[in-house]
Amino acid sequence: MEITSFDDLLMAARQQPEPQRLLFVFAAAELPDDATPAQRARFEAGQGGALVPRMCVDKTPQELPSFAALVDEAQQFTAPGHDWIIVFAAALSGTLHKAPTSADAEAPLQRMVDAIKGGAHGAYIPFDRSGQPVRFG
């Protein structure tokens, strides 16, 4: 199934033969301290910058009715001046019809955070603040 919206992700997760746990890392764009004048100009125009993870959460597909619900929950934990611009999603599959727990999700979430910090986010589905997939490049 092609994921063309956040709702597609939820539907696909709910249809898997094994129970799923969805992993989310919310990130902001920041300008590195050593940015060139050209990079600074691009950033001020709304482009470029480095993605910096701000927070992460795991949910079962059943705990998450919609993208709006995820955004609402994220707003409760967003510190003033530290808003996110993109959320990366991944799924963790259960085994033997047993869903992964939040404890099972801790290490994969940390790997996601580390990968995003390092710019290696190609294994995850990025969504903008309206729930639409983002293409990089």
| pLDDT band at 137; cut points 50, 70, 90 | low
**Distance in angstroms (rounded) separating the CA atoms of residues 18 and 100:** 10
Model confidence over 71-81: pLDDT tens digits?
999 988 877 77
- Say what the pLDDT of residue 2 is: 81
- Say what the pLDDT of residue 82 is: 72
Contact indicator for 45, 88 with CB cutoff of 8 Å: no
Q: Is the pLDDT of residue 25 over 90?
A: yes
| pLDDT band at 13; cut points 50, 70, 90 | very high
129: closest CA among 89, 91, 90, 84? 84
59: closest CA among 46, 41, 71? 71
The pTM for the full model equals: 0.89
Model confidence over 84-136: pLDDT tens digits?
999 999 999 998 889 899 999 999 999 999 999 998 998 999 999 999 999 87
If one compares 61 and 42, the residue with the highest pLDDT of the two is 61
Contact indicator for 22, 101 with CB cutoff of 8 Å: no
Mean pLDDT over all residues of the chain? 91
113: closest CA among 64, 61, 54? 54
- Say what the pLDDT of residue 71 is: 93
10 Å Cβ neighbour count for 20?
23
